[in-house]
Structure 1
């Protein structure tokens, strides 16, 4: 059973005073997720807006990807197919030094 689905993704970039902010919105038709990213130009570096766009957009897409994977994990868990629960390990030694 072959099926094709199209999801809309929109990427918005805002630039002001050496800072680029990105917002990426995914609309699946039944769900909407928004990722955010930011890039700042080091004052000692030459300002190249395209690089700020690429970094901010990449970070927004990475944020969106993480959200999408968490939604999928929740959906899998909801149907009883979630990942196995990892055993929590107890720390040994100087536990006060780890606090």
Structure 2
């Protein structure tokens, strides 16, 4: 099977105190870029596990990115078809 497209998602993480932040970037072949952020907060009594904070913050950023991508796709369907392709609420 031939590959039709390839996407690369960039994720960058930063930690400040008990808060881990993730920034996600997806560059699409149509020239659009989608950007998203995700956060995780560590309770002061929790062990300092940076990887876990990255996983949670990264997952939240990717969920935001997925939602934006669905909205973009449905907008394109709506524009091409002249009708609403999805309910207004997610």
Tell whether the 8 Å contact from 2:12 to 2:22 is kept in structure 1 after alignment: yes
Q: For 1:13-28, list aligned pairs within 5 A.
A: 13-28=13-28
**Matching residue of 1:77:** 78
Quick one: distance in 2 between partners of 1:45 and 1:36? 23
RMSD: 1.9
Q: Label 1:76 to 1:20 Cα distance change in 2 as closer, same or farther (>3 A).
A: same
The residue that corresponds to 1:68 in the other structure is 69
State which drifts further: 76-85 or 13-22. Answer: 76-85
Bigger Rg, structure 1 or 2: 1
Distance in 2 of aligned mates of 1:54 and 1:75: 31
The number of aligned residues is: 85
Secondary structure in 2 matching 1:33 = strand
Is there any run of 5+ residues in structure 2 with no aligned partner, and where?
Answer: none
Contact conserved, 2:22 with 2:57, CA < 8 A, in 1? yes
Q: TM-score, normalization: structure 1?
A: 0.77
Alignment of 1:1-99 (within 5 A): 4-29=4-29, 30-80=31-81, 82-83=84-85
Alpha-carbon distance in structure 2 between the residues aligned to 1:9 and 1:76: 24
Structure 1 gaps of 5+ residues are 87-99
